[in-house]
Amino acid sequence: MNFESGLPLSADSPEHVSPTRESSDDPAPRSENRKPRSDEKAGRAEPFALEIPRQKTIEYNEADPFSGTADMKKADTPTLRAFALLEHLVAADGPVSLADIAHEVDAPKASLHRMLASLEAGGLVIREPGQKNAYVIGPRLAQLGLGVMMHSGARRLRHAILTRLVADLGETCNLTMLHETEVLYLDRVEAPWPLRLDLKPGSHVPAYCSASGKLLLAKLPAEQRAVLVRALQLKRFTPNTITDPELLEAELDRAAHKGIAIDNEEFVVGIVCVAAPVVDAQNQCIAAIAVHAPVSRAPLSRTLEFVPRLQEAARELAGTF
């Protein structure tokens, strides 16, 4: 063994002496097919290096997380292909047909059909009622998204922003998102007053009679908003609750125009509320921040004075999504 080169001794190595012939200065005969060693070329052995092919990585664009879903070939494992398909459905404005998915992601229909069937069996996607082979996100995926939103690492930062806002305004504040036809409380910080509503994070309230809910509805695309309003059951909670769809549409138009929404004792008698939108970099309303107070302490006219501070907090919160 030649310890310098790490290769076994051959008949032509200087360290090897053939028992059948005397050592000479002439090199031993070479086979025509044998390649010369590196130490024969340079006088010494080069260290042996094993070249390992690099695995192709998938780049993720934080500015546009759905930018890579159009090319399913970038997702080179079954798990990543299924995840890319879910991203595509989440990014869609409404139900997406199998034909449209196959066209957008450039994948065979048969493969997509099998993938969608598995996701449908798991409750991650569902077929839109009344439309053949049109898919939307399912309840299990929606619940997963809400869980991520409520328990993500940004939750502490959002809570700190709400806490500062409550300290400045002296009234209870909350952060909400639209979940189907209801408002979901992502976080809430109570003011130190004895009169309060028991609405913990994870609670739901009707969208049509809350300030946050009306604002979130108002910011939806017109067609989607109209569909939701028609699907709402406008139950009366107080004498001020809007129960007429046309009046509700007019109220939503005012909220969209003003950029804020109010709850004038429409959900709970004696409680008023004002909400401002949380807008992302694409100018999409992703959440709402609101302050509410009893009319005995802060009537609606005074609560409206909190709007500039609400909007400031909304801009801070936008950076946490």
pLDDT in tens, 45-77: 555 444 544 544 444 444 444 444 444 445 478
> For residues 263 and 40, what is the distance between their CA atoms, to the nearest angstrom?
89
Assign 44 a pLDDT band (cuts: 50, 70, 90): low
CA distances from 219 to 41, 124, 158, 189 (A): 75, 26, 22, 25
- CA-based nearest residue to 292, from 169, 177, 204: 169
CB 206 within 8 A of CB 182: yes
Mean pLDDT score across all residues of the chain: 78
Lowest mean pLDDT across 65-69, 220-224, 264-268: 65-69
- End-to-end alpha carbon distance in the chain: 63
Category of 6 on φ-ψ map: left (φ > 0), alpha (ψ -120 to 50) or beta: left
Query: Would the pTM of this model clear 0.75, i.e. be above it?
Result: no
Other CB atoms within a 10 A radius of the CB of residue 72 amount to 23
List the structure tokens of 162.
């709400």
CB 94 within 8 A of CB 224: yes
Q: Is the pLDDT of residue 264 over 60?
A: yes
* Domains, the chain, ordered by start: 72-142 (1.10.10.10), 152-318 (3.30.450.40)
Q: With 0-12 CB in 10 A as exposed, 13-18 as middle and 19+ as buried, what is 5? A: middle
To the nearest 10 degrees (0 to 180), the angle between helices 307-318 and 155-169 is 170
Q: Is the pLDDT of residue 116 over 70?
A: yes
